[in-house]
Structure 1
Amino acid sequence: MERIDCRSHKETLFSWIWRKTHKENLSPPYYCYYSLFTIASKPIRKWFSAVLIPTIPFSNLRVQCYRWCGYKIGKNTFIGMRCYLDDMCYDMIEIGNNVTISYGVFFACHGRKQGHNKLLIKDGAYIGMNSSLIARSDEGLIIGENSVVGACSLVNKSVADDSVVVGIPAKEISKSK
């Protein structure tokens, strides 16, 4: 469990309760320092980004709604319907300009017994339908500039610029330039 130095955060009711109920000399976990507004707004943002946005039929509105939820998405980017962007790590996903993300792509920035890792898709990349992008290492996952990820691929390692990768797990089959 991630711990935060208690001297750098303002004491909250939750962190005070943690200190009184846990006799160890550990700092309260990060979520004890959340404001009541944050506690109330998180489930709403999660529902909005995981349930409502993927069903919006208009691409530009869908992308704009993802931006409102905190995702960093570049210009002229297309995100298909039924995509799942990791709603726990909206600040760890960055999508460049002129990127095409096809239908049903799954983005994961964390997993069981794994930290929260950055997922970066550089400019001009194409992600095929029903692919899964899983950032499992501390360096995160980088999809290179002008790279192509084939449909139904599982990408768990970074992809070089101008590469074409396919398969489970994804393997490079060619350079696109």
Structure 2
Amino acid sequence: MNKKKETIVSWIWRKTHKEKLPPPYYCYYSLLTIISKPIRKWFSAVLIPTIPFSNLRVQCYRWCGYKIGKNTFIGMRCYLDDMCYDMIEIGNNVTISYGVFFACHGRKQGHNKLFIKDGAYIGMNSSIVARSSEGVVIGENAVVGACSLVNKSVADNSVVVGVPAREISKIR
């Protein structure tokens, strides 16, 4: 068996369980990690989407660990997947409208990357779902129409709309 550094949580596990089972994997996290993870999840899923000022909202998302570029606007009531905050990357000069939903995982599926390149625009109430194994990339200066479901990558300088999103034109 691997000799890992014993934490307070694994010590408590050993003292409270009479069987000689090894403690589960999460016992090797620090106590600070175990306490801070639900707080960060609550903060990013419940509190931040209701903050009325975009600059403050973006800064709070950055504090939670999301990678967000400069001059980015994120509308109210947007949901950035709190289970895999390190797999969402948003470039510079991106506009994300009201109520956009980002998901990096699904049922019986691993975590996949979401990458939004510079200058992209995402219309209100759109859903961006990383379903494929390589993730989803929204290209530079791409436009996603309102209420669209994006589950595949979007090319640079293109306009996509619909459920599922289909390319309808190119931007010159």
TM-score, normalization: structure 2?
A: 0.89
Please say if 1:40 is aligned against 2:35: yes
The Cα of 1:34 is off from its aligned counterpart by 1.8
Q: Which position in structure 2 is the counterpart of 1:64?
A: 59
1:39 partner amino acid:
I
Please say if 1:52 is aligned against 2:51: no
Matches within 5 A, 1:14-29: 14=10, 20-21=20-21, 29=25
2:110 partner amino acid:
G
* Inter-partner Cα distance in structure 1 for 2:171 and 2:5: 52
Matches within 5 A, 1:27-176: 29=25, 31-176=26-171
Identity of aligned residues (%): 84
The Cα of 1:158 is off from its aligned counterpart by 0.5
The Cα of 1:100 is off from its aligned counterpart by 0.1
Distance 1:11 1:121, change over 3 A: same
What is the SS of the residue equivalent to 2:70?
Answer: coil
What is the SS of the residue equivalent to 1:138?
Answer: coil
Distance 1:169 1:44, change over 3 A: same
* Inter-partner Cα distance in structure 2 for 1:121 and 1:149: 11
* Inter-partner Cα distance in structure 2 for 1:9 and 1:139: 33
1:173 partner amino acid:
I
Instruction: Report the number of matched residues.
Output: 167
Structure 1: give runs of 5+ residues left out of the alignment. 1-5, 23-27
Across the aligned residues of Structure 1 and Structure 2, the Cα RMSD in angstroms comes to 2.2
Distance 1:144 1:46, change over 3 A: same
1:50-98 C-alpha deviation (Å, 9 max, x unpaired): 1110001001000000000000000000000000000011100000000
2:59 partner amino acid:
Q
What is the SS of the residue equivalent to 1:21?
Answer: coil
Asked which structure has the greater CA Rg, the reply is 2
The Cα of 1:8 is off from its aligned counterpart by 9.3
Distance 1:160 1:10, change over 3 A: farther
TM-score, normalization: structure 1?
A: 0.86
Structure 2: give runs of 5+ residues left out of the alignment. none
The Cα of 1:176 is off from its aligned counterpart by 1.1
The Cα of 1:7 is off from its aligned counterpart by 4.9
What is the SS of the residue equivalent to 1:165?
Answer: strand
